[in-house]
Structure 1
Amino acid sequence: MKKFLSGIAALMLVWMLSACEEEREPIKKTAMNPDKPDVVVIGSEIEGMYLARAAADEGLSVLVIDPREKPGGQLIQGEMLYLDEPFAEGGKSLLQGKVKQLFTVYKKGEIRKPEQFQAYYRTLTEGIPIVSGISITNVEIAGGAGTAKKSIRSISYRTKDGQDKTITARYWVENTDFAALTSRLGLKRIPGIETVFTSTKEKDHMAASLMMKFRNVDWDKFRKEVGRLGKKEIEQKYGSETTVTDTFTWGFGNVGARFTPSSKEVFLRGLNTVNQGDGEVLINALLIYGVNPSDDESVRRAIENGKRETERIVPHLRAELPGWEHAELNGFPNYLYIRDYDRYETEYVLQATDLMGGAMHWDNVSIAGYPLDLQGTMEHTWGERKGVPDKYGMPLRSFLPKGYSNVIIAGKNVGASAVAYGSARIQPNTSLAGEVIGIMLAKTTNEGGLSEVTEKEMNELHRYIQKKYDIQLSGVKGKNKIENLSEEQRRQFNEGKLTLP
């Protein structure tokens, strides 16, 4: 009976999300040549699937080839279901487009559990072929002589059943969490978190996480008991900024600090918690260091380490938190939440001063926000927040690999410095960018494609997107919160050597 009801809920969710969209003219689509689609997306992370959905809805043929065994990445396989919302200063939400629809039902509590997110994910993938478990065997690159841009002519890959295939396309999209495509293009790596936090490694990355799942939690007791304490008592017992609402928690840094990890490879930070209902709770707090998402064995080891550590954390939470006295494990995700890996130079690399200065760009594809939140490394376990911007623009050029005419990057591959990445990486920021770029791929009339779009053409695209999709990308102003910084202070801030209040 429970599975039946979950199925009904999933169907209702798909209906609700479809009903949220404005009526659109039916799009005349042609059958896709599987060897020559318009757009090939490598990887199935949700940010790139917004791009795929938008491009398909605008009439392009789209194919997804995914190196992972199952689709959905961090959201579906990693069950990273604690969604962060970007706000401008003053508390105004910056959500727009399809990702806003997701947050609307999420905040209402109508979508919280894995099967409900899976139903939502299917609304993005419907009608788009996904080939899972592939491995790229060759990338054929053309051009690049003199000042001409390079382009990808074809990609060859092997399916999980051993078939070798070669495909061509107008556009190629990097949408993995380990740079499966862009690492093959001869691009320069953007310096990473090792330039901000002292590291003995030549290159380093922010920690990954294994989401922790629990059941038999009395959330009402949890909320009331914590809320009964005064602010000073809460800070002393649980840590600064500790908050428990009907649906979420944040803070609880002292709870993490009082836990003794089993090794230096794992760490319990403050608890970002979501109430999934029926006594089920999900926590984003267990950091796992040194994970290489391009190495299957590294991922496997990290998941096993995370499972063992989660088992050790259960009695700690029972002892620390009211309402958690009978908490039990509720299974484990199939995959990790990968925050950070190698990123490669784009036509424009966002800097921390762009974000804190509220910079807007003629080729905006997203209006973004969120604190510059740098999660920890093995040698700097707690991480650091470098500043809190108002809002800022994300330009198309930060999603175009430097020197390439027909390659686009999505999601966490965004072209941003190590410090700027702390904010730019947040899912709604790059999900909106993905949707906007998908629309632009279909609507640009420039023979050179998006890499040669002019400011005049971009203005027309912005008008079209605002009229049809109610997404505003121009005429937006962000507050400059660093206008009093000297040039030397700006340099230090961009390098992560200066933290703003």
Structure 2
Amino acid sequence: MFRRIRKTILCLCLIPIFLSMTFSYRITESLYRTIPEKLVLPVETGITQASYDVIVAGTDPEGIMAAISAARNGLKVLLVDGRNRTILGGLMTLGWLNSLDLNKAPVNYRLWDKAVFLDKGLFQEWYEGIRGTSFDVNHAANLFHRMVAAEPNIDLVMNTREMAPIMEGHNAVGMRIVKADGTEERVNSKAIIDATQDADIAAAAGAEYTMGREDLGDPNSEMAVTLVFKLSGVTSEVWDELKHHKNTGYDDRSIWGYQEAREYVSSKPKRVKIRSLNIGRQDGDTILINTMQIYGIHPLEPASVQEGLRIGEEEAPLIVDYLKKNFKEFSSLEFAGTAPELYVRETRHIRGEYRLTMADLMQNRDQWDAIAYGSYQVDIQSPNSSNTGAILMSPKQYGVPFRCLVPLKVDGLLVVGRSASFDTLPHGSARVIPLGMATGQAAGAAVKLALERGVSLRDMSRSKDDISELRKRLMQQGMDLRMRHFATPEYAKHKDYPGLLAAVSLGLTIGGYDNKGWALDEASDPKRFAYQLRVVQKKYPEFLSRELEPAALAAESVKRPLTLKQAASMLAMVANAQVVGKNAEEALLAKGWLKQDTLNLISRKDKLTNGDTFMLIRDVLQYGLGVTFI
């Protein structure tokens, strides 16, 4: 009897294991198709009425999700493209960015290796359709087309020549659309969702914004653009060889690594170079590679965009030749073309009712009006050929407020995607498409609620009752808006953590993938501190107006420890603080720009650490200028 029970228990235990193996096999089997799909163009309805509940401008994934969300909430939607496109999906399907930067939930993966994503909702629905961290662009486009076509409440207009908001004072009340045949229509709407990559509609409506790294005092810099290219001839054997290159990560559809590729010397070293390879497998025998970094391109200027495409098209075959000659895994592959559009990472950053900060990410902060959550690392791509870029840090989970979608000074309009109200540094994480798709879903539902309650989108963003109802509806519609519980990061327990928040917000230090690169207890030196002050001066030139003495930047200064006396003197100098009859430390204390509690935390005044210097900078900015990083 006991033996029979034991056998029964064993069989019952094996069933879920067998089912799991079978399910895993089926998913893996469905990830790849030997014969790629043929692209099916979307069915355009045209503009069928004079007025809509909402116009969604932009057919990137964020706009598609906004339109579907609004339609499923019972609104009549016009989804319109303004970039001469004939297919849906934008950056994914025309920029060929076919590898996903995913927002994974901070959960224990030891017993369950299937990723748990933040937000879920429409993104999860779409992801289940493509099944993989990388995808075939035709398959992705066709899936977008089917999802839009399934919504009778969506009218679709593609390949327009121009689109612009119609304004009544500060209120967006519709759009002027110049269609492909040159005819113009003026269409009224009760709201607009701007899902263009660059917040074009919001900017034209008069919304405030910063450009690129302007909020760091560097308005002429923004992250590099990329032209993705294609290789053909990939068999199962070649794919296996590509995956098993040294120090390279991979899954069924994606490969990342090949750090040695950075040694490639381009034909235009100041304008283009490559980084490590991100490889996404398509159906059939092709792969797409995201590696090229092109500098000096101004994405809001059409002529500059064309120059970027030309530079990339000329360089791509040279890169492929280099890969074929230097990596045996690539030797049998052939160059098969470049993407129709550039991958642009950064342009406008709208100023909204709330602006996402690095402190939000460092503190893994939830928000009372969070309508989406992010966790992707803060990936800052290089702005020029002499800058390598960096992973600033890796948050566990942070909330994106609805207020980030509501631009200042413009009513009746929401901005979703990478150009929403994010500071340039946290934008390095919040810009990823899955998070943008979640903001799109939230925007579509928000318009419905605002119309229902007869309130403006701005007033709704300030109402805890309205936002509570919005979050409730989003969760009923498949979104996951839970904030997970996890241990406080070690860096947040350090005595110099307030200074670290300031330093990270100013771009003075890098934590890396593991958040251990801050080196708070490592000794600083005069040269390092001088360069940090010069970075801060860029952001606050009126307050920190004086240049440092050349001696502070001398090469030999790196060999000496930084003392408190030196640091205080340098701070007083750049802040133009008058030191009369006192040393600099006493003068800054007397002004209230340094606090004694901060100085008491310094264990060695003859050998300051990085953490000490961050705290000094934080004090001077907070108590001298009134700037806080919390």
Q: Same fold (TM over 0.5)?
A: yes
Q: 2:358 is matched with which residue? A: 352
- Alpha-carbon offset, residue 288 of structure 1: 1.5
Q: 1:34 is matched with which residue? A: 49
Distance change >3 Å, CA 226–CA 178, structure 1 → 2 = closer
- CA distance, structure 2, for counterparts of residue 174 and residue 108 of structure 1: 28
Q: Name the count of aligned residue pairs.
A: 458
- Alpha-carbon offset, residue 489 of structure 1: 2.4
Q: How does 1:209-224 map to 2 (within 5 A)?
A: 209-218=226-235, 220-221=237-238, 223-224=240-241
Secondary structure of 1:132's aligned partner: coil
Q: 2:162 is matched with which residue? A: 135
Q: 1:94 is matched with which residue? A: 117
Of the candidates 55, 68, 74, which is equivalent to residue 91 of structure 2?
A: 74
CA contact (8 A) 1:223 1:246 kept: no
Q: 2:223 is matched with which residue? A: 206
- CA distance, structure 2, for counterparts of residue 286 and residue 370 of structure 1: 21
418-427 vs 312-321, which moves further: 312-321
Q: 1:461 is matched with which residue? A: 470
- CA distance, structure 2, for counterparts of residue 267 and residue 138 of structure 1: 38
Of the candidates 174, 179, 191, which is equivalent to residue 171 of structure 1?
A: 191
Q: 2:330 is matched with which residue? A: 324
Deviations 1:385-441 (A, max 9, x none): 100000111111011102333110011112111110000001111111211221232
Q: 1:252 is matched with which residue? A: 258
Of the candidates 51, 62, 68, which is equivalent to residue 77 of structure 2?
A: 62
Q: Sequence identity of aligned pairs in percent?
A: 21
1:439 aligns with 2:445: yes
- CA distance, structure 1, for counterparts of residue 163 and residue 101 of structure 2: 32
CA contact (8 A) 1:39 1:169 kept: yes
Deviations 1:337-379 (A, max 9, x none): 1111112201100001101211111211112110000011125
Deviations 1:135-178 (A, max 9, x none): 24664242xxxxxxx32134334333332322221111222123
1:117 aligns with 2:140: yes
Q: 1:365 is matched with which residue? A: 371
CA contact (8 A) 1:259 1:316 kept: no
Distance change >3 Å, CA 267–CA 188, structure 1 → 2 = same
- CA distance, structure 1, for counterparts of residue 442 and residue 359 of structure 2: 24
Q: TM-score, normalised by structure 1?
A: 0.83
Of the candidates 483, 498, 501, which is equivalent to residue 492 of structure 2?
A: 483
Deviations 1:67-112 (A, max 9, x none): 2011432112212111121123455532401211333343458x83
Of the candidates 448, 452, 460, which is equivalent to residue 455 of structure 2?
A: 448
91-100 vs 470-479, which moves further: 470-479
- CA distance, structure 2, for counterparts of residue 291 and residue 265 of structure 1: 9
Amino acid at match of 1:74: L
Amino acid at match of 1:449: S
- CA distance, structure 1, for counterparts of residue 272 and residue 48 of structure 2: 47
Q: 1:22 is matched with which residue? A: none
Q: TM-score, normalised by structure 2?
A: 0.67
RMSD: 2.9
Amino acid at match of 1:342: R
Distance change >3 Å, CA 64–CA 255, structure 1 → 2 = same
Distance change >3 Å, CA 347–CA 479, structure 1 → 2 = farther
- Alpha-carbon offset, residue 325 of structure 1: 1.1
Q: 2:344 is matched with which residue? A: 338
- Alpha-carbon offset, residue 205 of structure 1: 1.4
Distance change >3 Å, CA 152–CA 283, structure 1 → 2 = same
- Alpha-carbon offset, residue 498 of structure 1: 2.4
1:184 aligns with 2:201: no
Distance change >3 Å, CA 478–CA 45, structure 1 → 2 = farther
CA contact (8 A) 1:364 1:474 kept: no
Amino acid at match of 1:465: L
Distance change >3 Å, CA 86–CA 282, structure 1 → 2 = same
- Alpha-carbon offset, residue 191 of structure 1: 5.6
- CA distance, structure 1, for counterparts of residue 123 and residue 422 of structure 2: 21
- CA distance, structure 2, for counterparts of residue 159 and residue 369 of structure 1: 39
1:315 aligns with 2:330: no
CA contact (8 A) 1:414 1:424 kept: no
Secondary structure of 1:181's aligned partner: helix
Secondary structure of 1:68's aligned partner: coil
- CA distance, structure 2, for counterparts of residue 9 and residue 122 of structure 1: 10
Q: 1:103 is matched with which residue? A: 127
Deviations 1:295-324 (A, max 9, x none): 222222211211111111111111222331
- CA distance, structure 2, for counterparts of residue 322 and residue 193 of structure 1: 40
- CA distance, structure 1, for counterparts of residue 105 and residue 449 of structure 2: 30
Higher-Rg member (1/2): 2
Distance change >3 Å, CA 446–CA 207, structure 1 → 2 = same
- CA distance, structure 1, for counterparts of residue 456 and residue 438 of structure 2: 20
Q: 1:162 is matched with which residue? A: 182
Deviations 1:475-499 (A, max 9, x none): 5446653533533321221121222
Secondary structure of 1:466's aligned partner: helix
CA contact (8 A) 2:230 2:288 kept: yes
CA contact (8 A) 2:35 2:284 kept: no
Q: How does 1:241-280 map to 2 (within 5 A)?
A: 242-280=248-286
Task: Looking at secondary structure, tell me which structure has more helix per residue.
Answer: 2
- CA distance, structure 1, for counterparts of residue 187 and residue 430 of structure 2: 32
Amino acid at match of 2:223: M
- Alpha-carbon offset, residue 244 of structure 1: 3.7
Secondary structure of 2:471's aligned partner: helix
Secondary structure of 1:413's aligned partner: coil
- CA distance, structure 1, for counterparts of residue 355 and residue 228 of structure 2: 30
- CA distance, structure 2, for counterparts of residue 296 and residue 480 of structure 1: 46
Deviations 1:203-239 (A, max 9, x none): 2211111111000134534534763x7xxxx35xxxx
Amino acid at match of 1:104: E
Q: How does 1:368-383 map to 2 (within 5 A)?
A: 368-383=374-389
Secondary structure of 1:438's aligned partner: helix
Name structure 2 gaps, 5 residues minimum: 1-32, 110-114, 517-630
Amino acid at match of 2:404: S
33-42 vs 408-417, which moves further: 33-42
Distance change >3 Å, CA 315–CA 106, structure 1 → 2 = same
Secondary structure of 1:337's aligned partner: coil
Secondary structure of 1:176's aligned partner: coil
